[in-house]
Amino acid sequence: MAPSSPVILEMRSITKEFPGVKALSNVSLAVRAGEIHAICGENGAGKSTLMKVLSGVYPYGTYSGDIVYQGQVCEFKDIRASEHAGIVIIHQELALIPELSITENIFLGNEPTRFGVIDWNRARRASIELLARVGLRENPDTPVKELGVGKQQLIEIAKALNKSVKLLILDEPTAALNESDSQHLLDLIRGLKAKGISSIMISHKLNEIEQVADSITIIRDGKSIETLDVKADGVDEDRIIKGMVGRTLESRFPDHVSNPGEVFFEVKNWTVAHPTVPDRLVCKNSSFNVRRGEIVGFAGLMGAGRTELARSIFGRSYGNFVSGQIVKDGKEITLKTVQQAISHGLGYVTEDRKSLGLNLLDDIKATTVSAALSKISNNSVVDNNKEFNVAEQYRKQLRTKTPSVNEGVAKLSGGNQQKVVLAKWMFTDPDLLILDEPTRGIDVGAKYEIYGIIQQLANQGKGVIVISSELPELLGLSDRIYTIFEGSITGVLNKDEASQESLMKLMTAAKRAA
């Protein structure tokens, strides 16, 4: 249907400059009515900037080029102006207020009034209707904080529908969602398309794009490279990647011959309770082990307890310890604090880089040494020269793209931030490194490099645990994969016996193996 329908939005040679950087240079984009148009590109390519130009976050006059929407040249001076025209953007970080109810959130800034007083009855009725349209069965008075991320995402869409959206922009809508929530969301977007609402979707999940998009515009280094028609051009993931990185990636994983040694780290009967709900167990009697030089995958749906397991082992930084043992190098150890965990050779790279992994005010060098300050200090006085040299060494070794280690980490792209976080933990010289979603929000090229780093660590004889929602990643990287379901370990598969199907079975089925 797409090629025949008229163009609803055209962005013509958009150029946007920041002091010292040309973020967008002559980018063009044409979206047809009633299509799902994906924008692909590596982190820092300029996708989000382009969407911010379109939605008026960067007002008219701060960029050059034309936005032609429904046949008219638009000059949006703020988000309100673009929303008024029916263009609504849903950001990657959701803009909902956790304490307010669903209704209050949907109508925030757009409250229906009667004699100047908010008409909650009308709002409530309308939100019931909107919830039905997005396929969400919830009481509209429920506070948003009680909903999962997947449902919150749907609330955002309901909010957009309430603004009589014609063009919906979704920035990484499924980044934080599990498989089934993602699927539901994608179905919903397709449903909207059938009702004539066009969508622009930014995503790193290429399989989803391949699945739902009608056309794809690829952006690289601030330039629009090409627009592909998914059906006509027979586009697949490899084709998209080729456009994004400007070359064909031979393989998505570096070659690696694993050579695991003996078991050196064991967790036995690990049981942990929820931090605020004591009778809810987030880890139930879990046991696993790691060999030297082995990459162990942990597969599980979101909320299955993967992160909880990892963090409770890492110095009890999550939940309330109930029972269990940790044995390292044949000796039982007790890790009550993060400090003890680090000194016993554990490292944990969080899934939530921005809020748990980085101090965004810090520069690269301070971040690199922040978990092992005593290594660069004499009598607790930090040696700035050693700090600089250490950071510089990791910058070179991990090929972090930055002009200098004095640069603030906030300025780096996701992939480079992740390299700095990896450097930070590599500098603590751990025996066991736990990586929680190590490639989340990272583009294809950087992923390949991160995989390489993980394999190098394993080659040095370190044990590496990789927690990931992306099964292909686990299958490509791990020597063994444990599956978790509702806090219990439900099975373990060797590299050669694991497949997406077999893993999925163990991740979703009730505890057969436990």
Partner 1 sequence: MNALKQLFGGNTRQFGMVFALIALIVIFQIATGGLTLTPDNVINLFNGNAYVLILAIGMVLVIIAGHIDLSVGSIAAFVGIVVAMTMRDWGLPWYAGILVGLLLGALIGAWQGFWVAYVGIPAFIVTLAGMLIFRGANQFVGKSNTVPVPKDFQYIGAGYLPEIGPDTGYNNLTLLIGLIVVAAIIWGEIRSRRNNAALGAEVSPLWVSVLKLVLLSAAVLYATYLFATGRPGTSFPVPGLILGVLVLIYGFISSKTIVGRHVYAVGGNRHAAELSGVQSKKVNFLVMMNMAVLAGLAGMIFVGRSNASGPFDGVGWELDAIAAVFIGGAAVSGGVGTVVGSVIGGLVVAVLNNGLQLLGVGADLTQIIKGLFLLAAVAFDVYNKSQGKPSITGLLTRNFGRGKNAPVEQTSEVVPNTTKETISTEA
Nearest residue (CB) to partner 1, 309 versus 371: 371
Output the smallest distance, CB 49 to partner 1, in A.
6
Q: Which of 411, 460, 494, 512 binds partner 1 (CB under 8 A)?
A: 411
The conformation of residue 408, written as its DSSP 8-state character, comes to B
Residue 52 interacting with partner 1 (CB under 8 A): yes
- Residue 353's contacts (CB-CB under 8 Å, 6 or more residues apart) are 414, 417, 418, 421, 440, 441
Output the smallest distance, CB 53 to partner 1, in A.
10
The conformation of residue 411, written as its DSSP 8-state character, comes to G
Residue 344 interacting with partner 1 (CB under 8 A): no
What does the buried/exposed string (b/e) look like for 299-328 if buried means 16 or more CB atoms within 10 Å of the residue's CB? bbbbebbbbbbbbbbbbbbbbebbebebeb
Residue 358 interacting with partner 1 (CB under 8 A): yes
Residue 32 interacting with partner 1 (CB under 8 A): no
Residue 19 interacting with partner 1 (CB under 8 A): yes
- Tokens representing 112? 């229906």
From 25-33, 120-128, 149-157, 362-370, give the range in contact with partner 1 by CB under 8 A: 362-370
* Binding residues among 373-392 for partner 1 as defined by CB under 8 A: 373-374, 377, 380-382, 384-385, 388-389
Residue 440: how many other CB atoms lie within 10 Å: 18
Contact present, 485 and 298 (Cβ < 8 Å):
no
- Tokens representing 24? 């967008």
Contact present, 454 and 254 (Cβ < 8 Å):
no
Residue 350 interacting with partner 1 (CB under 8 A): yes
Output the smallest distance, CB 370 to partner 1, in A.
5
Output the smallest distance, CB 431 to partner 1, in A.
16
Nearest residue (CB) to partner 1, 126 versus 409: 409
Residue 334 interacting with partner 1 (CB under 8 A): no
Q: Which of 2, 14, 32, 43 binds partner 1 (CB under 8 A)?
A: 43
Nearest residue (CB) to partner 1, 20 versus 234: 20
Nearest residue (CB) to partner 1, 4 versus 380: 380
**In 3D, which of 7, 39, 10 has the Cα closest to residue 171?**
39
Residue 130 interacting with partner 1 (CB under 8 A): no
Angle at 276 between CA 275 and CA 279, to 5 degrees: 90
Report how far residue 98's alpha carbon sits from residue 94's, in angstroms, rounded to the nearest whole number: 10
Residue 368 interacting with partner 1 (CB under 8 A): no
Nearest residue (CB) to partner 1, 107 versus 448: 448
Number of H helices, E strands in the chain: 17, 24
Distance of CA 230 to the CA centre of its chain: 25
Contact present, 453 and 423 (Cβ < 8 Å):
no
H or E element that contains 73: strand 72-74
Residue 64 interacting with partner 1 (CB under 8 A): no
Binding-site size, partner 1 (CB under 8 A): 58
What does the buried/exposed string (b/e) look like for 109-120 if buried means 16 or more CB atoms within 10 Å of the residue's CB? eeeeeeeeeeeb
Output the smallest distance, CB 44 to partner 1, in A.
5
Nearest residue (CB) to partner 1, 3 versus 246: 246
Reported in sequence order, the residue ranges of 350-462 that DSSP labels E, i.e. its strands, are 377-378, 381-382, 432-436
Strand partners, 298: 467, 482
Residue 355 interacting with partner 1 (CB under 8 A): yes
Residue 357 interacting with partner 1 (CB under 8 A): yes
Nearest residue (CB) to partner 1, 179 versus 407: 407
Write down how long the chain is.
514
Question: Distance of CA 297 to CAs 99, 287, 289, 300, 503, Å?
Answer: 36, 14, 11, 10, 11
Nearest residue (CB) to partner 1, 194 versus 381: 381
Distance of CA 271 to the CA centre of its chain: 28
Nearest residue (CB) to partner 1, 341 versus 498: 341
Residue 338 interacting with partner 1 (CB under 8 A): yes
Output the smallest distance, CB 244 to partner 1, in A.
16
Residue 20 interacting with partner 1 (CB under 8 A): yes
* Binding residues among 269-298 for partner 1 as defined by CB under 8 A: none
**In 3D, which of 131, 121, 122, 192 has the Cα closest to residue 156?**
131
Contact present, 467 and 310 (Cβ < 8 Å):
yes
Contact present, 371 and 430 (Cβ < 8 Å):
no
Output the smallest distance, CB 349 to partner 1, in A.
9
Residue 399 interacting with partner 1 (CB under 8 A): no
Output the smallest distance, CB 222 to partner 1, in A.
9
Output the smallest distance, CB 64 to partner 1, in A.
15
Query: Where do contacts with partner 1 occur on this chain (CB under 8 A)?
Result: 16, 18-23, 43-44, 46, 48-49, 52, 314-315, 317, 337-339, 341-342, 348, 350, 355-363, 366, 370-371, 373-374, 377, 380-382, 384-385, 388-389, 401-404, 406-408, 410-413, 416, 424
